[in-house]
């Protein structure tokens, strides 16, 4: 099935022990008989290990890396994710034969007091952090905790130490890479007493400890992005541009490239040309639609 006009995609569902109930509810998914809850839905993905569906085919088979160098997913947590970091392009190419992984998050919902860990606190050194990791200490005390609410935005460049906390639902736009280096997993073990694999040496190779890198300006923190009307540009990266549309459709404000264009409903039905997309679904197409109507907010990635 060749991708011509905008087509509705079906997500690749990722079940995690730390997943929550929110995505199943938002997307009206039947969870009867499932052992693990949904942690992520990969709405726009051409990664071979988790491609989004396109009709009777999938995006990995139908589109190229050049057409789709980004990945979009919903994430919902009932427990903290591991403390982790992603490599930049050069390191990923040399070590993993992959592109790196810079990402960004838009918070859709959060329980009271919930938040994310992002960046090292001022003065934390690599030696200090590495020693704490080796001793299996609670290393979250070395990280900056940001309490979050709906509409908050965070840019997470490669090299940023981070962990999404429990009780958070968000949408993530990232480079099309599955490379994650876990440095600490809250000393958790499974039912057999086994802990998840860590990647401490690689994590230390790529983590950025410089004070100016861990400054709030690096993370481009923005508030209230889902409360304003209009078409708003949020972030630019060589592999993706992110826009939020609430209310009036203003296509003249959106810059397109040779990449495919993704439209994701954040909380309401969306009409794209002659098609209707349900809440929390995604569409992919080659050019901006002539008609775009939404009762609430949506995300556009170009």
Hey, which residues are catalytic here? 182
Taking phi over 0 as left and psi of -120 to 50 as alpha, with beta for the rest, 119 belongs to left
Q: Which residues are registered as beta bridge partners of 156?
A: 103
Give CA 294 to chain center in angstroms. Answer: 22
- Measured distance CA(207)–CA(98) in Å, rounded: 18
* Of 39, 190, 169, the residue nearest 115 (C-alpha): 169
Q: Are strands 297-301 and 261-265 parallel, antiparallel or unpaired?
A: antiparallel
Does residue 172 contact residue 75 with C-beta atoms inside 8 Å?
A: yes
The CA-atom distances, in angstroms, between 206 and each of 126, 165, 212 are 11, 22, 16
164 by DSSP, 3-state: which?
A: strand
What is the rounded end-to-end Cα distance, in angstroms, of the chain?
Answer: 22
Backbone angles phi, psi at 200, to 5 degrees: -65, -45
- Measured distance CA(286)–CA(261) in Å, rounded: 6
Neighbours of 197 (CB within 10 A): 7
- Measured distance CA(38)–CA(273) in Å, rounded: 31
Neighbours of 189 (CB within 10 A): 10
């Amino acid at each position: 099935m060749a991708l011509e006009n905008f087509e509705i995609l079906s997500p690749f569902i990722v079940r995690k022990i730390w997943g929550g109930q929110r995505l199943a509810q938002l997307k009206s998914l039947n969870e009867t008989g499932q052992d693990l809850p949904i942690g992520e839905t990969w709405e726009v993905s051409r990664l071979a290990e988790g491609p989004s569906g396109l009709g009777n085919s999938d995006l990995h088979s139908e589109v190229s890396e050049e057409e789709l160098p980004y990945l979009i997913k919903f994430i919902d947590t009932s427990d903290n994710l591991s403390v982790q970091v992603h490599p930049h392009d050069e390191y990923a190419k040399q070590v993993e034969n992959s592109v790196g992984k810079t990402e960004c998050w838009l918070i859709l919902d959060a329980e009271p007091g919930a938040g994310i860990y992002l960046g090292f606190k001022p003065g934390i050194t690599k030696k200090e952090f590495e020693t704490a990791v080796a001793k299996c200490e609670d290393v979250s005390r070395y990280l900056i905790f940001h309490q979050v609410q709906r509409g908050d935005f965070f840019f997470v460049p490669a090299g940023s130490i981070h962990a999404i906390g429990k009780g958070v639902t968000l949408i993530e736009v990232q480079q099309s890479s599955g490379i994650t280096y876990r440095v600490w997993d809250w000393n958790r073990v499974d039912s057999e007493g086994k802990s998840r694999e860590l990647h401490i040496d690689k994590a230390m190779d790529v983590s950025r400890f410089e004070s100016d890198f861990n400054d709030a300006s690096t993370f481009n923190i923005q508030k209230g992005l889902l409360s304003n009307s209009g078409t708003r540009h949020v972030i630019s990266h060589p592999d993706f541009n992110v826009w939020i549309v609430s209310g009036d459709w203003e296509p003249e404000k959106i810059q397109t490239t040779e990449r495919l264009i993704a439209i994701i409903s954040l909380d309401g039905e969306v009409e794209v040309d002659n098609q209707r997309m349900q809440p929390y679904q995604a569409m992919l197409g080659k050019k901006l639609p002539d008609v775009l109507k939404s009762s609430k907010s949506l995300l556009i990635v170009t």
